[in-house]
Amino acid sequence: MLAVLAPGQGSQKPGFLGPWLDLPGTEGRLRWWSALSGIDLQHLGTKADAAEITDTAKTQPLMVTAALLAAEHLPMYDVAVVAGHSVGELGAAALAGVLTPEAAVSLAGVRGRAMAAACALEPTGMAAVLGGDPDEVVAGIESAGLYPANRNGAGQIVAAGATEALEKLVATPPAGARVRALRVAGAFHTPYMATAERELAAVAGGITPGDPQKILLSNLDGTAVTTGREVLQRLVRQVVAPVRWDQCMQSLADLGVTAVIELPPSGALAGLVKRALPGVEIVKIETPNDLAAARDLIARHGVAPGAEPTPQFRVVVAGVAGNFTPDPSLAEGADVRSGQVIGHIGTRQGPVEVTAHDSGVLTEWLAHHDDPVAPGQPLARIGGHLV
């Protein structure tokens, strides 16, 4: 199984989009998406200097644009899993069919401007905490009055909050860890971004999302989200919520992912996956020259087209890891309604409801009483439609 990952801010370099302009249609696409995002994406990706492309108002739509441009040249229909880090979630949502590319780029423009404005309200920032015991690091961050904004796995947690508190954390790091201040505009993925969350919510409320056509992992908790409405809600919420990339990588492992492609500008996520999931084959896409290797990886690890007949049913999948218990009142052949609870998944935090997202006939249970399940694992088939 193969996953395609869309990176967040931090990997961009001056001129990194330049080689992509040689591909047919790229320049026109950049002009169209520039009009939607309110940013000159072609200038930003080809001629802007390092200082200009670190402005979060400009960088966020640029990151989504780069990922989508590269994905257009891949056989994405053979890709089973997608995920994005921070603003990369917007690109991943487009690749999964939840958002149109136009909606993803537009939301990235709104998100970037709103978060930049929130950063200007008071002096805040972020710092990477490297090494140490994860639980002790989080406790140390919180005791300093800061937030664990990114839990990236592989020994990397990012603290965020007031500048004065960050300076103290750098001076007195948690046991066994070192702290490195990051050059960012403010405390992303914390309550300091509340005004940005409200602004993004107001715009997102006008979008009609589609349901994911692939396994789409959420930064909120690493689970596979199965409805477009919930994806959109999570995308808005993520502005103030921590990025749990560690849990996304655990879900990749639980799903049995054997290969990963990181879309441009690549490097950061590939490095985290390499350390956390040894043995997974990785391709990093930087320029069009890397597309051939990515296509080869998809051919060897992706879903083979035409291997199964086109299904005439919808598959209900697990959103979290745990033990599945089907509703004892439902037998195969029973009618179910959209939104009906068909079972529960027992987790350490308590039971999580599993609901049908279409009306129809429960044609087959794919998981049974007390079966251990992973995020994205099929649980039941629902065929036909009730009238």
How far is 173 from 141, CA to CA, in rounded Å?
9
Considering the candidates 34, 86, 106, 218, report the single residue annotated as catalytic.
86
Distance, CA of 294 to CA of 319 (rounded, Å): 28
How far, in Å, CA of 208 to CA of 36, rounded? 17
Residue carrying the six token digits 């990051």: 182
Token digits of residue 103: 């909606």
Cβ–Cβ < 8 Å for 150, 157? yes
Neighbours of 209 (CB within 10 A): 21
Please answer whether residues 116 and 57 qualify as being in contact, where contact means their C-beta atoms are separated by less than 8 angstroms.
Answer: yes
In contact, 151 and 86? CB cutoff 8 Å: no
> By the 8 A CB rule, do 226 and 356 touch?
no
Q: What single string gives the DSSP state of each residue in 282-350?
A: EEE-SSGGGHHHHHHHHHHHSPPTTSSPPPSEEEEE-SSSEEEEE-TT--TT-EE-TT-EEEEEEETTE
Exposure string for 360-370, b = 16+ CB within 10 A, e = fewer: bbbbebbbeee
Does the annotation count 86 as an active-site position? Answer: yes
Single out the catalytic residue among 34, 106, 189, 266.
Answer: 189
Q: Give the single-character DSSP code of 304.
A: P
Question: Where in the sequence numbering do the catalytic residues fall?
Answer: 86, 189
